[in-house]
Chain A
Amino acid sequence: GENVEQHPSTLSVQEGDSAVIKCTYSDSASNYFPWYKQELGKGPQLIIDIRSNVGEKKDQRIAVTLNKTAKHFSLHITETQPEDSAVYFCAASRAGNAGNMLTFGGGTRLMVKP
């Protein structure tokens, strides 16, 4: 089955700096890669996703890159703000008619210091 590894497990940055979180996956057939943000006491919230036919996607301060050859994808947050502090999860799936089973990485606790 799919295995997703995520690094680092904790990341502390100064407000205004950039943050980068990296994930690797094992199943070359995976085709869908979402990123979720989880705040304390809440469910995961999708912040951005990318499909395997795209190499990069950007949404304001957030960008995701995908390298299918190396089987890794990364989340980039620019101009970090204190409200970006949360746990971030990457995930991968081989989505299709047989379902969309997300395999999650272990999570990264991001702390943005004002």
Chain B
Amino acid sequence: DSGVTQTPKHLITATGQRVTLRCSPRSGDLSVYWYQQSLDQGLQFLIQYYNGEERAKGNILERFSAQQFPDLHSELNLSSLELGDSALYFCASSVSSGTDTQYFGPGTRLTVL
């Protein structure tokens, strides 16, 4: 158990819908990262927040957005869902923003029908 929690574990929805994935970092960690894992794209970095502010951005689609709240939990919002958005979404956290170890949560499996 990494100490990172993600809810829900599974999410099934339809094309065009909007969903919110939630992540609680390990106690004391200030950075939260979001990654997408799919069969064709592998593990891809989406976005990083550090102490409430966006710190780094990857190939995150405009339909996707994230935020980190004052209590340091984070949410990833996915809208206008397409079949290709079906994937595992992982949250990771680390103490700060540099080369600290990133601890991954158990993931949320999103299925878009």
B68 is an interface residue with CB less than 8 A from chain A: no
B50 A99 Cβ-Cβ under 8 A:
yes
Of the candidates B58, B94, B98, B104, which one forms a contact with A97 in the assembled complex, judged by CB atoms under 8 Å apart? Answer: B98
Stretch of A17-25, A77-85, A100-108 with 4 or more beta carbons under 8 angstroms from chain B: A100-108
Residue-wise interface mask of B (79-113) relative to A, using a CB-CB cutoff of 8 A (1 in contact, 0 not): 00000000000101010011111111111000000
Of the candidates B2, B56, B105, B107, which one forms a contact with A99 in the assembled complex, judged by CB atoms under 8 Å apart? Answer: B56
B74 is an interface residue with CB less than 8 A from chain A: no
Minimum distance in angstroms from B57 CB to a CB of chain A = 8
Minimum distance in angstroms from B26 CB to a CB of chain A = 13
Residue-wise interface mask of B (39-79) relative to A, using a CB-CB cutoff of 8 A (1 in contact, 0 not): 00011110010100001101000000000000000000000
Binding site for A on B (CB under 8 A): 2, 4, 31, 33, 35, 42-45, 48, 50, 55-56, 58, 90, 92, 94, 97-107
